[in-house]
Amino acid sequence: MESSSFSRVHGGRDERICWICLNGDVDVLRQDWLQPCKCRRTNRWVHEVCLSRWIDEKQLSSPETRVSCPLCHTEYLIVMPPVCRFDALLERLDKAYGVVCPSILLGMLATVAYIATLTYGVLTLNQVAGYKASMRLMKEDPTLLMIVLPSVPAALLLLRRIDWNNWLIHWLRRRQRQQLAGEHYDEHGELLPGAPLGDDYYDALEPADSDELLQGGMLNVENIERATCRFCITLSLPTFAVVLGQTLYGSVQSKLLAFLLGALTFEAIKGAICIYVRQCQYHRKRHRHVLDYTPDNPQPTAAATTTTTTTTTT
């Protein structure tokens, strides 16, 4: 603030001008003048009321913030009236409350998450081993109950990271690669301008799974939808595995083997559908073309123009 330009010399001494409201002593003689910092000449004057308001503004977000003069950076000495012991105790209690409450909340959330994962683990064990066997297992080995069972959903979600159908799709695409006709290359083997889009272009269109989340930020609606779908499908895997194991592999003696076979079948069916849908979308995109505009061309209908952008969740 160029406050020096406002200084007006009055009879040899600096006139007092508040650097906040820029008023002096001309109209009203005010009694609340302060010189709270090292500033010289006119800049050193400020009204107590103006400064008070200014300090409140600075301390709006956190009342403990130290406030200094914006020009000379001298910290203002703000003296609070003394508090009695009872008030001080209440204040300290209030602060302690602010520290303890978030920790309690975090602890409660962690407990809820633990109980939820434990329940899920117990239900899964029940489904896989049957009620009696799972009860016996949990009675014999309580550590199983406490440690292994809550980690079941986490393990399932980690297993989900093995994205075998993505690998399979890339393998299929690599097998189906079509070399562009020789007429599109020059003598050095470089693509000529105007050549059709090649395999490399379409491969790059499909982001790797790890990049998916980074596209448009984590909180993109589509990403959230995809993540929740993935989460639900992953956690429903044991249920589907048990049902498929019982219906398709009922003759298998071992319950666990039937469950594993059921899980593999579920994965295979789901993966096959996902690969089929993604390959269809890929081929439709590769073989689309844009028509020249002529008055005879039919108006594009909504159904024909909307390219299906639904991506399958795996």
Binding mask 7-26 for Zn ion (x = CB under 5 A): -----------x-xx-----
Q: CA nearest 261: which of 283, 278, 246? A: 246
The residue ranges of DSSP E strands in the chain, in sequence order, are 9-10, 13-14, 33-34, 46-47
Is 75 strand, coil or helix? Answer: strand
Q: Which is nearer to Zn ion, 67 or 135 (CB)?
A: 67
User: Residue 234, SS3?
Assistant: helix
Minimum distance of Zn ion from residue 59's CB (angstroms): 18
Parallel, antiparallel, or unpaired for β 9-10 and 33-34? Answer: unpaired
Question: Closest Cα partner for 237 from 176, 146, 158?
Answer: 158
How far does the chain reach from its first CA to its final CA, in angstroms?
60
Q: Does 55 bind Zn ion (CB under 5 A)?
A: no
* Identity of the residue, 18 or 258, whose beta carbon is nearer to Zn ion in the bound complex: 18
69 binds Zn ion (CB under 5 A): yes
Structure tokens at 123: 């239900």
Residue 169 lies near Zn ion (rule: CB under 5 A):
no
Q: Which of 34, 55, 71, 145 binds Zn ion (CB under 5 A)?
A: 71
Minimum separation from the CB atom of position 60 to Zn ion (A): 19
Q: Which is nearer to Zn ion, 18 or 263 (CB)?
A: 18
Q: What is the number of helices (H) and of strands (E) in the chain?
A: 11, 4
Decide: residue 301, CB within 10 A, 0-12 exposed, 13-18 middle, 19+ buried: exposed
Which of 45, 47, 121, 241 touches Zn ion by CB under 5 A?
Answer: 47
Q: Per CB under 5 A, does 37 bind Zn ion?
A: yes
Q: How far apart are CA 270 and CA 275, in angstroms?
A: 9
Only one of the segments 70-78, 177-185, 189-197, 303-311 lies at the binding site for Zn ion (rule: CB under 5 A); that segment is: 70-78
Among 72, 90, 100, 105, binds Zn ion (CB under 5 A): 72
The stretch among 67-75, 92-100, 105-113, 188-196 that binds Zn ion (CB under 5 A) is: 67-75
Which CB atom, from 54 or from 266, has the smaller least distance to Zn ion? 54
> Interface residues with Zn ion (CB under 5 A)?
18, 20-21, 37, 39, 47, 50, 69, 71-72
